[in-house]
Structure 1
Amino acid sequence: MAADSPTVASDTGLTVSPTAPSPLTAAQQSAVAELLRVSPVADDLGRRFHAAGHELYLVGGSVRDALLGRLGDDLDFCTDARPQRVLELLSGWAEATWTTGIEFGTVGAARRGLRLEITTYRAEAYDRQSRNPVVRYGDSLADDLVRRDFAVNAMAVGLPDHRFVDLHGGLEDLTSRTLRTPGTPEDSFADDPLRMLRAARFASQLQFEVAPEVVAAMTAMADQITRITAERVRDELTKLICGADPVTGLRLLVDTGLAAHVLPELPNMRMEIDEHAQHKDVYEHTLTVLRQAIDLETDGPDFVLRMAALLHDIGKPATREIQSGGGVSFHHHEVVGAKMTRRRMKALRYPKDVTEQVATLVFLHLRFHGYGRGEWTDSAVRRYVTDAGDLLPRLHRLVRSDCTTRNKRRAAALARSYDTLEERIARLQAEEDLARIRPDLDGNAIMELLGVPPGPVVGKAWKHLKEVRLDRGQLSREEAEAELFRWARENGIVAD
């Protein structure tokens, strides 16, 4: 159906193409409610473009989310107007504009609490070798919609008349919760291989099923993802992991072979279980831990916790040993895993602070299992808290989610042990303010007592006194000074 095909007006205010189901579906009713919420701004902008002789459509994810009843405050539009003309039409109307995406035909604007992105119709294509798109402006809405990633993202609503345009069966796919491409998936993925990752991301975020022909194309073309920059891969992977059902998306990456190129540690955790070396399959265990970690979240998706759950056992394949009795061990897999985590997240261009947070959780996740039945000294508890630092709440959740045994008695015993540990931590925190543990002497006191200037000696002395503080608890001033001089004598800093 062409973009200018006849349309049918409904009594709800949304005008639909004759190919769309009639009467209006529940999804379309949701769209009407969402559009009414944003229409004072959207329709005003549409009238402004129409008066200047240009078309304007709400498009893509905004229409999809409106149909799902979850439209946010970020709105996407497309138009036949070129970017400079868009800026002219926004002048005096928008409260702010920005041009960070203008090389791709996009102009941003703010109006009454809404963020708007207005993009000139595109017929974007890759040269199928480079990593970046070659932007070519299209001549019509139809040109723009056919180049979009999935049919559910290829619907549009005209402004200000609210004419609904669905050229590729997006509404039907939305109803069946299916992801298909407007054209052939092979052509779509050849143009932009990142769309393969986006399919897995939408499977996670929207909990949609990916059509068989799309999965087949993803499998056949998985190696094409290497054309995409690490930053773009990272952004899609982050959205997938923070989705409502990341396990489904991750399974799709593994099953299609995409994970072998973007997160190879994940498929590498699949281990053969044979009669001589039976153990939990690390891959399945990891996905269960991820689900359980999500269940423990209290304030929305926590990427650091989820990524740590996903990577906590990546060191196991490299440390796997078959023991003489037929058992399997993974000694120091948390140490190896933390190093592997840093390497992978660095390759994906994650920020250093985020990488370090995830790696620290991977490194610490196994320490609790030395707690046994409460044999830890207060010193060991202090170190656990101090080493975790601000990550302690996440470490609590990760450790608890790492219990996937089907033995209910063992699971209950582990939960009780961790309950006991948390109670001890709370008691010590109340008594000693563990979050702010410092040596009993500060740097100025150390320099004054030892008669040394600022430098490495002061740092070493401070670190030693902190270790003593963790081991023995708070010292009196006299005890701290005696310990400082004892250490200084042993290290030749002061004479006996």
Structure 2
Amino acid sequence: MTDVPDSPAPMRLVDVQAAVAAELDRIAPVIDELGALFAAAGHELALVGGPVRDAMLGRRSNDLDFTTSARPEQTDRILKSWGDAWWDMGRDFGTIGCRKGEWVVEVTTYRSEAYDPDSRKPEVQYGDSLAGDLGRRDFTVNAMAVRLPSRELEDPYGGVVDLAHRVIRTPGTPEQSFSDDPLRMMRAARFAAQLGFSVDPAVVQAMTEMADRIQIISAERVRDELVKLVCAPHPRLGLELLVETGLADRVLPELPALKLERDEHHRHKDVYEHTLTVLEQAIDLEPRLATRGDIPAPDFVSRFAALMHDVGKPRTRRFQDDGVVTFHHHDVVGAKLTRKRMKALKFSNEQIDAVGDLVELHLRFHGYGSGEWTDSAVRRYVRDAGPQLERLHVLTRADCTTRNKKKADRLRRTYDDLEARIDRLSAEEELASIRPDLDGNQIMTLLGIGPGREVGEAYKFLLELRLDNGPMSEEDAAAALREWWAARG
């Protein structure tokens, strides 16, 4: 299972200082040159935010963020004299970007931004000092900067100490920070998931009290934070925080709904805890996607499918007289709920279809029994999974959370057998691109008809025949098609 940190030991200050020095030396070709260029033009420049935080954690990146006293048009002139390529899509927010060799640089003018109570977009105002710029940032670990070219560390809010103790805290009061930008509440959960840090109790309290304020944030920005959280190394930490504070009730209500009431007469496993465990096990299985399906990790689709696979259970739960609890058709209901939620969060149709299909198919394997499926059933399993087959393998395996070792081993061996049969049939029949043994032109020639609905019906008949029988010769397929056509009258 994915390793989630528990009461991590504080970092030593000397180690933090050494990590920063090493990283600054590595990125010297950028920071020394840019620092000198901005200084020569009479402007301040500082490396800021994530790159400084990551340097202290010993993490390397070639994407560097800077803040400056220069206005965007002044920054634009300097970067064009230095970089290899430039862009200004963020000009409205004071940001100009460029690429220099392997380095990607973004420089933003000192600024402050805030929402009014009914706004979905921040109001950007330029600032005139580094201290002011740092003060408007979300968390203390992101409110540190290194002045250039002097390499002097600016840490007015104790970010080094918070980073050493692995805690998420705001520079000012969390209430003011979240009032300025409510999305920071979700960012707190996201950074907990990314860094494995705890969240300051005052921050948790403010998130709980101000959860309703997230509703002024656009669905797209909420979606982007949710994707980053789910794709983080420790998503359970962030998701549990969203549920604890009530934010999940506003942005992903299907998750807290999994906390079903239980009693001594009607027993079933904890669906909420089961779901988080399935997510962690799906993450552990992600290397399969890279080797078999060429899907790089982290894979949002497989992770989100794991998170949503049982969201149909609350609506389908039924109690029987013998104490048994059933969730009939929760796969179909869950797929509909998943598609509806993802549509509300403005996901792409491709992502909605991928996750929705996985949720709908996640129980299909359990009809396999001990291997009783015919080859026809295996073909249909592959056909229905389509391009999501490798992800379905991961989700189905991750969905086994039983503590009964014998049962878990039996399920694993059974799925091993199904995958082996799929591999064998794929090698023999090219299952991934399964199609009828006659194409549309051959159908029309054979039946003496033109394009139209009847060609589609004939094609569907031949496809079902192909799934049932495997590959056929053209002669046998033609004979079967004539027989089918004659039977239609």
- 1:446 Cα deviation from its structure 2 partner: 0.6
Counterpart residue number, 2:3: none
1:279-294 aligned within 5 A: 279-294=268-283
- 1:24 Cα deviation from its structure 2 partner: 6.0
| Match of residue 315, structure 2, among 313, 318, 335 | 318
Q: TM-score, normalised by structure 2?
A: 0.94
Query: Which stretch shows the higher mean deviation, 470-479 or 339-348?
Result: 470-479
2:269 partner SS: coil
Counterpart residue number, 1:98: 87
Structure with bigger RCO (C-alpha 8 Å, 6+ apart): 2
- 1:409 Cα deviation from its structure 2 partner: 1.2
Counterpart residue number, 2:356: 359
- 1:387 Cα deviation from its structure 2 partner: 1.1
Q: Return the alpha-carbon distance in structure 1 between the equivalents of residues 487 and 30 of structure 2.
A: 74
Conserved 8 A contact 1:34-1:66: yes
- 1:36 Cα deviation from its structure 2 partner: 1.2
2:390 partner SS: helix
Q: Return the alpha-carbon distance in structure 2 between the equivalents of residues 128 and 50 of structure 1.
A: 39
Say if 2:46 is the partner of 1:57: yes
Counterpart residue number, 1:118: 107
Counterpart residue number, 1:416: 413
| Match of residue 473, structure 1, among 454, 464, 470 | 470
Conserved 8 A contact 1:145-1:154: yes
Q: Return the alpha-carbon distance in structure 1 between the equivalents of residues 91 and 113 of structure 2.
A: 14
Q: Return the alpha-carbon distance in structure 1 between the equivalents of residues 480 and 217 of structure 2.
A: 57
Unaligned runs of 5+ in 2: 1-11, 291-296
Q: Return the alpha-carbon distance in structure 1 between the equivalents of residues 181 and 394 of structure 2.
A: 38
Counterpart residue number, 1:16: none
1:168 partner SS: coil
Say if 2:35 is the partner of 1:46: yes
Counterpart residue number, 1:10: none
| Match of residue 155, structure 1, among 139, 144, 150 | 144
Say if 2:442 is the partner of 1:445: yes
- 1:476 Cα deviation from its structure 2 partner: 2.1
- 1:97 Cα deviation from its structure 2 partner: 1.3
Conserved 8 A contact 1:41-1:112: no
1:404 partner SS: coil
1:14-93 aligned within 5 A: 25-93=14-82
The AA in structure 1 aligned to 2:362 is H
Q: Return the alpha-carbon distance in structure 1 between the equivalents of residues 106 and 235 of structure 2.
A: 28
Which deviations, in whole Å up to 9, do the C-alpha atoms of 1:170-191 show, x marking residues without a partner? 0001100000000000000001
Counterpart residue number, 1:402: 399
Q: Return the alpha-carbon distance in structure 1 between the equivalents of residues 251 and 362 of structure 2.
A: 24
Counterpart residue number, 1:128: 117
Unaligned runs of 5+ in 1: 1-22
| Match of residue 307, structure 1, among 300, 304, 310 | 304
| Distance change >3 Å, CA 447–CA 200, structure 1 → 2 | same
Conserved 8 A contact 1:47-1:160: yes
| Match of residue 127, structure 2, among 133, 138, 160 | 138
Counterpart residue number, 1:393: 390
Q: Return the alpha-carbon distance in structure 1 between the equivalents of residues 428 and 74 of structure 2.
A: 66
Q: Return the alpha-carbon distance in structure 1 between the equivalents of residues 284 and 371 of structure 2.
A: 26
Conserved 8 A contact 2:437-2:466: yes
1:185-200 aligned within 5 A: 185-200=174-189
- 1:25 Cα deviation from its structure 2 partner: 1.9
The AA in structure 1 aligned to 2:145 is A
1:174-213 aligned within 5 A: 174-213=163-202
Counterpart residue number, 2:365: 368
Conserved 8 A contact 1:439-1:469: yes
Q: Return the alpha-carbon distance in structure 2 between the equivalents of residues 125 and 48 of structure 1.
A: 31
2:255 partner SS: helix
Which deviations, in whole Å up to 9, do the C-alpha atoms of 1:324-362 show, x marking residues without a partner? 222111111111111111111111111110111111111
Conserved 8 A contact 1:272-1:281: no
Across the aligned residues of Structure 1 and Structure 2, the Cα RMSD in angstroms comes to 1.2
Say if 2:254 is the partner of 1:265: yes
2:162 partner SS: helix
Say if 2:293 is the partner of 1:296: no
The AA in structure 1 aligned to 2:399 is D
Q: Return the alpha-carbon distance in structure 1 between the equivalents of residues 319 and 485 of structure 2.
A: 47
Query: Which stretch shows the higher mean deviation, 478-487 or 370-379?
Result: 478-487
- 1:431 Cα deviation from its structure 2 partner: 1.6
1:230-241 aligned within 5 A: 230-241=219-230
Which deviations, in whole Å up to 9, do the C-alpha atoms of 1:84-118 show, x marking residues without a partner? 11112223212111110000111111112111110
Conserved 8 A contact 2:13-2:164: no
The AA in structure 2 aligned to 1:448 is T
- 1:266 Cα deviation from its structure 2 partner: 0.2
2:286 partner SS: coil
- 1:389 Cα deviation from its structure 2 partner: 1.7
Which deviations, in whole Å up to 9, do the C-alpha atoms of 1:423-460 show, x marking residues without a partner? 11111112212112110111110111112222222222
Taking every aligned residue pair, what percent have the same amino acid on both sides? 62
Q: Which stretches of structure 1, 4 residues or more, deviate above 4 A after TM superposition? A: none
1:183 partner SS: coil
Q: Return the alpha-carbon distance in structure 2 between the equivalents of residues 225 and 487 of structure 1.
A: 59
Counterpart residue number, 2:157: 168
Q: Return the alpha-carbon distance in structure 2 between the equivalents of residues 256 and 144 of structure 1.
A: 28
2:96 partner SS: strand
| Match of residue 428, structure 2, among 428, 431, 456 | 431
